[in-house]
Amino acid sequence: MNAPLRIRLAAEALGTMLLVSAVVGSGIMGARLAGGNEAIALLANTLATSAILLVLITIFSPLSGAHFNPAVSLVFAIRGELPREVLLPYVLAQFAGGILGTVLAHLMFDLAPLTLGIKPRTGPSQWLAEAVATFSLVLAILGGLRFRPDAVPALVALVIGSAYWFTASTSFANPAVTLARGFTTTFSGIAIGDVPGFMIAQIAGAILAMTLASRLFPPKRRG
């Protein structure tokens, strides 16, 4: 990640925008074509999200690390692998890119640019699901970086695709994506008032994964 900061921030914003546009856009398309079958709509949502993650992480990792996720950036900052002074710019770029992704998806489907989400997603089971999803994501990233760095794009795509189906919340696992999805009333939306609970659970899951990873995946010994 030797690119100038402005390039790294542009990569984070653009990557998060395209990720959210894929999540929201595929949710809209899937719901329209599924004829009320939510399983089919979720499957379409899953495939599009996993595919775009694989692409975006592959092409943007050399520039910015391809976090696209404030929880991931926080973990790397705590670990000393992202300069602390860069954390806030990264997070702001991710949040801005995510909201622009919702706008882009809405405009492609002839909807209002932003609408406040109304789909209820709250309660202990939903918060636990988000903690588990983010825990799984961060653990996969850190384990992949320790043993198979080349496999990280695929690992992220696979863990998110899997968590769409094994978590009750359908795996947001990302505060920036969560906020962005709070501005849509479509299939992938979340009630705007439920966003903070998801974010807290995601950060908790990320920190827990980081703590466990430090024990499971210690750095290679020099010499």
Confidence of residue 1 (pLDDT cuts 50, 70, 90): low
- Dump pLDDT digits (tens) for 60-87: 999 999 999 999 999 999 999 999 999 9
Helix axis angle for 5-33 and 84-108, nearest 10°, is 30
Residue type, 213: A
Give the pLDDT score at 171.
96
The 3-state secondary structure of 76-90 reads HHHCCCCCHHHHHHH
| Residues above pLDDT 70, as percent of the chain | 98
Q: Where are the domains of the chain?
A: 5-216
* Whether residue 10 has pLDDT greater than 80: yes
pTM for the model: 0.96
Give the pLDDT score at 140.
98
Listed in sequence order, the DSSP H helices in the chain are 5-33, 38-64, 70-78, 84-108, 124-147, 152-166, 175-181, 195-216
- Distance, in Å, from the CA atom of 56 to the CA atom of 66, rounded to the nearest integer, reads 7
What CATH number is given for 5-216 in this structure? 1.20.1080.10
- Distance, in Å, from the CA atom of 18 to the CA atom of 182, rounded to the nearest integer, reads 16
Average pLDDT over residues 192-204: 98
